Structure 1
Amino acid sequence: MTSQAPLLRAAYAPIAINRSFYDQVASTSDRVLLDSFILPIRSGRAWNVSAGDVFRISTPEGPQVGDLNLWNAHDSRERFWASRTRQLQAAHVTVYDRLWSTLPFLRPMATIVADSLKDYGVDTEGGRVHDLLGARCDPYINKYLTGVDRDVHCHSNLTRAVKPFGLTEFDVHDVLNVFQCTGLNSEDKYFMVRRPRTTGHHIEFFAEIDLLVALSTCPGGDLSLRMWGDDIAPGEDPAIACCRPLKVEVFRLPPGALDGWERWNAETYKGNHGL
């Protein structure tokens, strides 16, 4: 029997992207800083980013995983869709990859324009960075595994972060794990490893629509300790042992920098699902 794999791989054509425009965005130095803050360890925060602006997440004090959520700032029903992004982009994302929204909207919400880890590739353990495979940590699975109630998991951090914006736990969704290094092993099981080990990495996103963004500094920190650092040496503070803050900056581009940018206006499905 003839293999169908080539046909399946060809089923979806690449969606065109204007790389020269995003290169221009990444290289624009005379940006205006609109906002800048440090997100403390094991906490969450939400903020708005206007279409055409850029937000940057960095690791000022060393390796730290961040769990990222996105919503349409004007309609929280439209939110980041991790699984479709995995299909259209990759399981680990970098420059030129887009973060796509849920049905029935299905459009790019943000595009990655800069990534200091874009050349990381695959490490000796099979890991890659900026993960779309794993779920956010949450207090429910922690209770199953440990019998302990904890309120600093990414799900809880994000829930607290979006409450001032009128959103609830039900709005928190699957994440992009920025700076997290993961993969699938020979048994097709998910694994995480501590990477990278240096200070000062960053990733930048261009907002394709008006966004509400939320970020959690994962209690797993740099993933060097199992179960959120609960099994560290006696007397050592788990927050200090594996966790570090993240820095967030929001920039406005100068006049003319958006020349060549076209808001998403693709032909879309207009049927009624056979109803």
Structure 2
Amino acid sequence: MANRAAAYRASPGSPLDIDHAFYDRLAVASGRRRVASLEVPIRDALAWEVPAGHVMRICTRQGAQVGDFNLWSRHNPRERFWASRTRQLQRSHVSTHDRLWSTLPYLRPMATITADTLADYGVDEDGGRVHDLLGTRCDPYVNRLLTGEDFDFHCHSNLTRAVLPWGLTEFDIHDVLNVFQCTGLNDQGQYFMKACPAQPGDYLELFAEIDLLCALSCCPGGDLSVDLWGGDTTDDDLLATCHPIGIEIYALDDDLLTGWAPPTSPDYRGRHGLRQPAEDWTARRKDGCC
């Protein structure tokens, strides 16, 4: 396969052209203090807030486990993580220095990965990589489609329950970052999943570029060493592969953030080709029309 250049490339000074040295300092800095330590139970999900300028660590404290991760702007849930655009701007499996981007019309980095203990996993003999943006969350609708049975604790369902206290619903759940998940495409272009390579103590750290609401589901498939569908897999087989996931949040000393500011959205001032002058719309609104 030809090593073609990426379609989306960083121009100097663009948000893709990040200051590696700044984020590398955050990864090793002693000027941080832990302000929260949480745990996502097996086959369940948790939602939490992360203020801008803080670091969150997602960690496999007890053993390998896949997590399905969603993000929203804390103050505007219409702005949420955009997995497909992140896949285009960054890559199909993310790691250190990659950014997680938000939906239109906001289109700005929500978080930047500062540390990844699985960064050296690379590409395995099957073409598998970790921290996947190729697939999305498991859900009860696909389960019903494939098996004819109902199961209420898929990642989609877990995330739905987790965000209810923040006034969000199933319609706010979106395509995920599959943290610690090892996936790829086979020779037929079909999506495959492999056993999670994480060990106790592995982690992914992200710097919050804006105020975030986050949610993470501990996948009911555990470390994915057992097939979710097909064969003779039983629920007890899957349950034996499940572990909780830890969440830690760190505040950073002010001097570490010198020169940093939350990112802004692109200053697009066009009207998507609409010909109606803006002042006409303003006048019609004032008149109570439309």
TM-score by length of 2: 0.87
Seen in structure 2, the aligned counterparts of structure 1 residues 192 and 210 have a Cα distance that, compared at 3 Å, is same
Mapped pair 1:103 → 2:67:
no
User: AA paired with 2:113?
Assistant: I
Structure 1 stretch 11-20 or stretch 109-118: which is displaced more?
A: 11-20
- Which residue of structure 1 aligns with residue 248 of structure 2? 249
- Which residue of structure 1 aligns with residue 123 of structure 2? 122
Structure 1 stretch 250-259 or stretch 71-80: which is displaced more?
A: 250-259
The C-alpha deviation readout for 1:29-74, integer Å capped at 9, x for no partner, is 2311111112110000100000000110000111100000000000
- Which residue of structure 2 aligns with residue 207 of structure 1? 208
Given that 1:112 and 1:205 are in contact with CA atoms closer than 8 Å, whether structure 2 keeps it comes out as yes
- Displacement of 1:88 after TM fit? 0.4
TM-score by length of 1: 0.92
- Which residue of structure 2 aligns with residue 40 of structure 1? 41
User: AA paired with 1:244?
Assistant: H
Matching of residues 3-18 of structure 1 within 5 Å: 9=6, 12-14=9-11, 15-18=16-19
- Which residue of structure 2 aligns with residue 131 of structure 1? 132
The C-alpha deviation readout for 1:182-210, integer Å capped at 9, x for no partner, is 00111111101003052221000100000
- Which residue of structure 2 aligns with residue 274 of structure 1? 273
User: AA paired with 2:171?
Assistant: F
* Distance of 1:230 and 1:43 partners within structure 2: 25
Seen in structure 2, the aligned counterparts of structure 1 residues 80 and 197 have a Cα distance that, compared at 3 Å, is closer
- Which has more radius of gyration? 2
Seen in structure 2, the aligned counterparts of structure 1 residues 230 and 257 have a Cα distance that, compared at 3 Å, is farther
Given that 1:230 and 1:238 are in contact with CA atoms closer than 8 Å, whether structure 2 keeps it comes out as no
* Distance of 2:175 and 2:255 partners within structure 1: 35
User: AA paired with 1:204?
Assistant: E
- Displacement of 1:93 after TM fit? 0.2
**Secondary structure, aligned partner of 2:256:** coil
Given that 2:42 and 2:220 are in contact with CA atoms closer than 8 Å, whether structure 1 keeps it comes out as yes
User: AA paired with 1:141?
Assistant: V
* Distance of 1:154 and 1:89 partners within structure 2: 24
Matching of residues 1-275 of structure 1 within 5 Å: 9=6, 12-14=9-11, 15-196=16-197, 198-227=199-228, 231-232=232-233, 237-238=236-237, 240-265=239-264, 267-275=266-274
**Secondary structure, aligned partner of 2:257:** coil
User: AA paired with 2:242?
Assistant: C
* Distance of 2:208 and 2:8 partners within structure 1: 28
Given that 1:115 and 1:204 are in contact with CA atoms closer than 8 Å, whether structure 2 keeps it comes out as yes
Seen in structure 2, the aligned counterparts of structure 1 residues 197 and 81 have a Cα distance that, compared at 3 Å, is closer
CA RMSD of superposed structures (Å): 2.0
Given that 1:130 and 1:179 are in contact with CA atoms closer than 8 Å, whether structure 2 keeps it comes out as yes
Seen in structure 2, the aligned counterparts of structure 1 residues 85 and 23 have a Cα distance that, compared at 3 Å, is same
* Distance of 1:81 and 1:171 partners within structure 2: 12
The C-alpha deviation readout for 1:118-150, integer Å capped at 9, x for no partner, is 111001111000000001000000011111111
* Matched residues, number: 268
* Percentage of matched positions with identical amino acids: 59
Structure 1 unmatched runs, 5+:
none
User: AA paired with 1:39?
Assistant: V
Seen in structure 2, the aligned counterparts of structure 1 residues 51 and 239 have a Cα distance that, compared at 3 Å, is same
The C-alpha deviation readout for 1:143-180, integer Å capped at 9, x for no partner, is 11111111110000000000000000000000000000
Given that 2:92 and 2:133 are in contact with CA atoms closer than 8 Å, whether structure 1 keeps it comes out as yes
Seen in structure 2, the aligned counterparts of structure 1 residues 217 and 230 have a Cα distance that, compared at 3 Å, is farther
Seen in structure 2, the aligned counterparts of structure 1 residues 13 and 24 have a Cα distance that, compared at 3 Å, is closer
* Distance of 1:229 and 1:218 partners within structure 2: 17
- Displacement of 1:268 after TM fit? 2.6
User: AA paired with 2:133?
Assistant: L
Given that 1:41 and 1:239 are in contact with CA atoms closer than 8 Å, whether structure 2 keeps it comes out as no
* Distance of 1:245 and 1:230 partners within structure 2: 26
